């Protein structure tokens, strides 16, 4: 019966295909789509003030709005310290001006429905403003102050640095983001301004003086271009800008703007181990072209055919025909003033990593061997030309693009020139472009995935393993190197703590179970949650939390962990997982630390006496898995507090966990209350109703933790 159904299905499908091929065209299918109209560049007037400031005025009376876009030469390629341009781009706006601080600027703009924003790029700083026509006489003077007299408030600098640290701490969480970041390093070199990354120490070294120096060096009227777009009278607007920016000067010598040397991409196979992902992410490619390269029009069409969409060759082979991935493709991404990147990508199951990689490479080889079809050529050119119109469907977009063209010394109608050249690309041009600019033997190949992938990659050649561990910032407090005497003192103190806490039972501890409440302070507010938890030493945890949003489970099983809520499960990022497992040592007054000490795995170094939160303590330092942990011992010979570096939502910090309300649980002194401090602020409070040691773990929990 099953064979009959299959046969009938095949007949029906075949009949539908024949019917669809022979049915007459419907009315809408007979419509001939005319060619796109040429872009109508708006009229504008350009002036240059006596100080060299260039301003373009685009009158547009359609909506009573005015927009200002400003480009100042000087970006990441010009910075003296890593991160200087990024920090400058943030604090230029948030740090306020001489007439009002950043918070007052926010209030002032909000009351008028206006905005002023700033950010940095590789080559320039951008400052933009948007306002109602009726508010121009208030907003333009303020906007001008950001060019002539920014303040760089200290508190806004620290806030921006906190944000930068937070970004560093999360940079390995999203696999595609980290893959692109590391791939760019392979293309340009890790020290290139187009690829280098900011570390915690870079952020810590930046200060207000660095921002002031950057401003003094690069903010010059003769290196600034402004475009004003909207509902205004040009003559009146000229007077406003002459009034507020006509006297702007920079008497410092004009800086040099050296070009960046870009080395040729070296062929390599690279691997990043990331075990908290389900799939392998693959990127491969090499240096590309500048946007104004004579061969770029043909390369643009080629990359569209090869990897530019669901009809592209790579997508068709990898996804449609072989079913290896949900997405696959590739592009040549050009740059205005330097070579861009040619890159291809896909992601697939670990077991099909090599097959997917070879499939992409095969398609690249094929497009170099024979001409593309006329149908492929037509589809690729139509795709570009149809999208092209949407890049120029408003005066604002055209003006912004023209501003960038002027900055990079491109013709103002460059996109019309490019459009015309792409329309003329033929199949022979695509073949020649592929042969002249695609070199798979020079490809840098990057695969991000589980550890077992590395062995498979080795079948293709030598594999370079890339370490993406985030370097810890330099400690602000220097702990002296241990001596024989300080180790002897520290071990004596820890021995007394072990005895006071219950040495005999601590040596036997296998698990601990709790029930109580946790209060956590987050950027979204403070949350209090009921919790039940079981820790199976050294690295298994099961926690049930009753949160305001619903019940949540958190599970740690050595090298893997996840959180689940409402049927949704999310892996804990690998770097956070390691830190969470390490932090188990610090829970319940450092029971695991004391157990490790009793087994001779760690030693203590006495540093001296220290007062913590009003309590006199003895400070003993241990070095645990390359982590320096501070133990503050009270007069009762119990651990009063533990200080350790942990990653927070705002980057790594030394947090202090203070333990109180010690009680006897089966011969072990266990704190029933603790508070975790970030400086003087309490970030987390734990209070337990019950604590049990060495319980019979429920079968359901054993199954979840993989103990059976």
- At residue 575 the predicted structure's pLDDT band, cuts being 50, 70 and 90, is confident
- At residue 369 the predicted structure's pLDDT band, cuts being 50, 70 and 90, is very high
Its pTM stands at 0.85
Residue 306 has pLDDT above 80, yes or no: yes
Name residue, tokens 């099953």: 2
Among residues 320, 325, 323, 217, the alpha carbon closest in space to that of 279 is found at 325
Q: Tell which wins on pLDDT, 462 or 397.
A: 462
Q: Do domains 45-172+197-245 and 268-393+416-465 have the same CATH topology?
A: yes
Residue 200 has pLDDT above 60, yes or no: yes
pLDDT digit string, tens, across residues 248-264? 999 999 999 988 999 98
Of the ranges 43-47, 476-480, 651-655, which is most confident? 43-47
For the chain, the domains span 45-172+197-245, 268-393+416-465, 484-705
CATH number attached to the domain at 268-393+416-465: 3.30.830.10
- Please list the alpha-helical segments (H only) found in 507-663: 574-583, 591-598
DSSP 534-564: EEETTTEEEEEEEETTEEEEEEEETTEEEEE
CA-based max dimension of the chain: 96
- At residue 384 the predicted structure's pLDDT band, cuts being 50, 70 and 90, is confident
pLDDT digit string, tens, across residues 42-95? 789 999 999 999 999 999 988 899 999 999 999 999 999 999 999 999 999 999
Q: What angle do CA 118, 120, 125 make, to 5 degrees?
A: 75
Region 298-327 average pLDDT: 94
Instruction: Report how many helices (DSSP H) and strands (DSSP E) the chain contains, helices first.
Output: 22, 25
Residue 3 has pLDDT above 60, yes or no: no
pLDDT digit string, tens, across residues 535-569? 998 889 999 999 888 899 999 988 888 899 888 88
pLDDT digit string, tens, across residues 633-642? 999 999 999 9
Residue 1 has pLDDT above 50, yes or no: no
User: Distance (Å, rounded) from C-alpha 147 to C-alpha 469?
Assistant: 39
CB atoms within 10 A of CB 690: 11
Structure tokens at 155: 């508190």
Residue 282 DSSP class: E
CATH number attached to the domain at 45-172+197-245: 3.30.830.10
- At residue 6 the predicted structure's pLDDT band, cuts being 50, 70 and 90, is very low
Superfamily of domain 484-705: Lipoprotein localisation LolA/LolB/LppX (2.50.20.10)
Region 161-189 average pLDDT: 94
Region 490-503 average pLDDT: 96
- At residue 705 the predicted structure's pLDDT band, cuts being 50, 70 and 90, is confident
pLDDT at residue 34, rounded to an integer: 56
Provide CB contacts within 8 A for 119, sequence distance 6+: 89, 90, 125, 126
């Amino acid at each position: 019966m099953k064979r009959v159904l299959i046969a009938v299905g095949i007949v029906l499908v075949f009949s539908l295909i024949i019917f669809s091929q022979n049915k007459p065209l419907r009315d809408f299918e007979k419509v001939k789509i005319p060619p796109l109209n040429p872009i109508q560049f708006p009229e504008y007037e350009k002036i240059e003030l006596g100080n060299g400031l260039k301003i373009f005025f685009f009158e547009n009376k359609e909506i009573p709005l005015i927009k200002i876009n400003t480009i100042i030469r000087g970006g990441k390629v010009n910075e003296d310290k890593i991160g200087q341009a990024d920090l400058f781009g943030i604090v230029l706006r948030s740090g306020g001006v001489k007439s009002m601080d950043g918070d007052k600027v926010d209030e002032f703009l909000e009351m008028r429905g206006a905005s002023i924003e700033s950010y940095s790029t590789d080559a320039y700083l951008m400052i933009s403003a948007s306002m109602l026509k009726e508010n121009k006489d208030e907003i333009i003077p303020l906007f001008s102050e950001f060019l002539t007299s920014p303040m760089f408030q200290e508190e806004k600098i620290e806030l921006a640095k906190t944000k930068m640290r937070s970004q560093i701490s999360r940079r390995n969480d999203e696999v595609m983001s980290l893959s692109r970041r590391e791939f760019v390093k392979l293309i340009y070199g890790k020290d290139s301004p187009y690829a280098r990354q900011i570390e915690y120490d870079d952020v810590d070294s930046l200060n207000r003086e660095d921002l002031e120096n950057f401003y003094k060096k690069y903010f010059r009227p003769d290196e600034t271009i402004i475009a004003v777009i909207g509902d205004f009278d040009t003559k009146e607007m000229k007077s406003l800008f002459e009034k507020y920016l006509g006297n702007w000067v920079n008497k410092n010598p004009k800086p040099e703007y050296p070009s960046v040397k870009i080395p040729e991409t070296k062929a390599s196979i690279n691997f990043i181990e990331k075990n908290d992902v389900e799939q392998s992410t693959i990127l491969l490619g090499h240096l590309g072209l500048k946007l104004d390269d004579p061969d770029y029009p043909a390369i643009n069409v080629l990359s569209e055919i090869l990897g530019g969409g669901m009809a592209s060759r790579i997508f068709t082979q990898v996804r449609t025909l072989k079913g290896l991935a949900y997405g696959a493709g590739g592009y040549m991404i050009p740059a205005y003033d330097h070579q861009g990147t040619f890159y291809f990508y896909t992601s697939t199951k670990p077991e099909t990593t090599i097959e997917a990689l070879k499939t992409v490479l095969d398609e690249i080889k094929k497009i170099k061997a024979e001409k593309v079809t006329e149908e492929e050529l037509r589809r690729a050119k139509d795709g570009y030309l149809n999208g092209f119109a949407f890049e120029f469907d408003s005066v604002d977009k055209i003006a912004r693009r023209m501003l960038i063209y002027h900055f990079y010394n491109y013709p103002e109608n460059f996109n019309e020139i490019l459009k015309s050249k792409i329309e003329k690309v033929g199949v022979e041009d695509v073949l020649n472009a592929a042969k002249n600019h695609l070199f798979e033997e020079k490809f840098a190949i990057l695969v991000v995935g589980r550890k077992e992938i590395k062995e498979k990659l080795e079948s293709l050649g030598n594999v370079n393993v890339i370490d993406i561990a985030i370097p810890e910032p330099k400690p602000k407090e220097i702990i002296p190197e241990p001596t024989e005497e300080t180790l002897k003192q520290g071990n004596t103190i820890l021995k007394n703590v072990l005895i006071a806490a219950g040495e005999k039972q601590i040596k036997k501890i296998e698990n601990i179970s709790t029930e109580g409440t946790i209060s956590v302070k987050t950027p979204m507010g403070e949350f209090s949650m009921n919790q039940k938890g079981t820790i199976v030493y050294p690295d298994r945890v099961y926690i049930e939390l009753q949160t305001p949003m619903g019940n949540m489970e958190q599970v740690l099983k050595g090298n893997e962990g996840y959180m689940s809520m409402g049927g949704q499960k999310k892996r804990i990022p690998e770097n956070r997982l390691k830190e969470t497992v390490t932090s188990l040592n610090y829970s319940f007054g450092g029971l695991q630390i004391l157990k490790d000490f009793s087994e001779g795995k760690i030693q203590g170094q006495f540093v001296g006496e220290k007062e913590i939160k009003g309590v006199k303590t003895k400070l003993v330092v241990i070095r645990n898995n390359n982590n320096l942990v501070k133990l503050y011992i009270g007069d009762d010979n119990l651990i009063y507090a533990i200080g350790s570096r942990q990653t927070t939502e705002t980057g790594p910090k030394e947090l202090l966990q203070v333990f109180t309300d010690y009680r006897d649980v089966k011969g072990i002194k266990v704190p029933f209350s603790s508070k975790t401090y970030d400086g003087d602020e309490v970030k987390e409070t734990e209070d337990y109703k019950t604590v049990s040691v060495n319980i019979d773990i429920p079968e359901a929990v054993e199954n979840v933790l993989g103990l059976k």
